[in-house]
Amino acid sequence: MFKVKTLVSLIVIPLALVLLAGCSRYTPREIDISRGEYYEDEEYQKLSDKEREAYCAKLAAELDLLQKRSEEAEAQLEQNKEDIQTFTRDLRDAEREYSRLNNQVDELTLQLQELANLPKEWQLQYGECLWIVAGYEEIYGDPLKWTRLWRGNTQKIEDPDWVLAGWTINVPREWPTRHRVRQDEWLAKIAGYWEVYDNYRQWPVLFEANKDRVADPDLIFPDQELVIPREYPASD
């Protein structure tokens, strides 16, 4: 009887210890290292050697990844600094250009206002001729431009050397876009007019723009109306 009990004890007790040990084995909680989840010291101590090895490997991989990201961030930071410096220079250049253009706009606005206030008609006084009138600052400021007054008043003035006090003449202000040919005019002469191109060498521009009505550049007729392309502005 004693031997049977002893034998049972020798079998049952080790089996119970094995079962008890198996039931009490520690199961670590699920964590995500990439999200900043880690084991506490107490949890780490309960890990098996294999679990610790796997955990450490994940930590090392995460550290390598973070270091790589840190290096990339530093490189990007340097690039951003360079970009900011470039953008800052460009912004300053743009501000200077804006200031320059703004000043130009102000100057042009002032000139337009002054131009709008200039007389568009002039009543001739005793002793005045087209030469004198063209020389007035409020007219053209240059007596040599008297021909502009004459060509702008051909319906009234037949002879530019003969004008009468009391006549009211037009003062052309805009660049003409058309020209009616008069006697003894040719393309080079017209191109040389101050209000046209002020350059007789520009006559081919007139010819090209009027090929539909001028077959021969050396042959134009009075009363022909010519187009004056304004992409070739007259000289000041």
The pLDDT tens digits of the residues spanning 202-214 come to 999 999 999 999 9
Question: In percent, how much of the chain has pLDDT > 90?
Answer: 43
Cα end-to-end distance, the chain, whole Å: 137
Q: Which stretches within 1-124 are classed as H helix?
A: 2-23, 41-46, 49-117
Mean pLDDT of 36-59: 85
Q: Could you identify the residue written with the tokens 């990339």? A: 72
Angle at 115 between CA 132 and CA 154, to 5 degrees: 50
Assign 3-state DSSP to the chain and report helix, strand, coil percentages, each to 5: 55, 5, 40
Task: Give whole-number Cα distances, 95 to 88, 90, 106, in Å.
Answer: 10, 8, 16
Residue 37 confidence (pLDDT) above 60: yes
Distance, in Å, from the CA atom of 217 to the CA atom of 213, rounded to the nearest integer, reads 10
* Coil/strand/helix, residue 169: strand
59 CB-near residues (< 8 Å, 6+ apart) = 33, 38
Smallest Cα–Cα separation from 169: which of 137, 234, 135, 125? 125
Task: Give 62-115 pLDDT, tens digit per residue.
Answer: 888 888 989 889 899 888 988 998 989 898 889 888 988 888 888 878 777 777
Q: Could you identify the residue written with the tokens 């800052």? A: 88
Question: In percent, how much of the chain has pLDDT > 70?
Answer: 87
Q: Residue 12 — pLDDT band, cuts 50, 70, 90?
A: very low
Q: Residue 15 — pLDDT band, cuts 50, 70, 90?
A: very low
Tell the burial category of 52 from Cβ atoms under 10 Å away from its Cβ (0-12, 13-18, 19+). Answer: middle
Considering 21-25, 34-38, 67-71, the range whose residues carry the highest mean pLDDT is: 67-71
Mean pLDDT of 35-44: 84
Task: Give 97-111 pLDDT, tens digit per residue.
Answer: 898 888 888 887 877
Domain spans in the chain, listed from the N-terminal domain onward: 119-227
Task: Give 156-173 pLDDT, tens digit per residue.
Answer: 998 999 999 999 999 998
Fold type of domain 119-227: Membrane-bound Lytic Murein Transglycosylase D; Chain A (3.10.350)
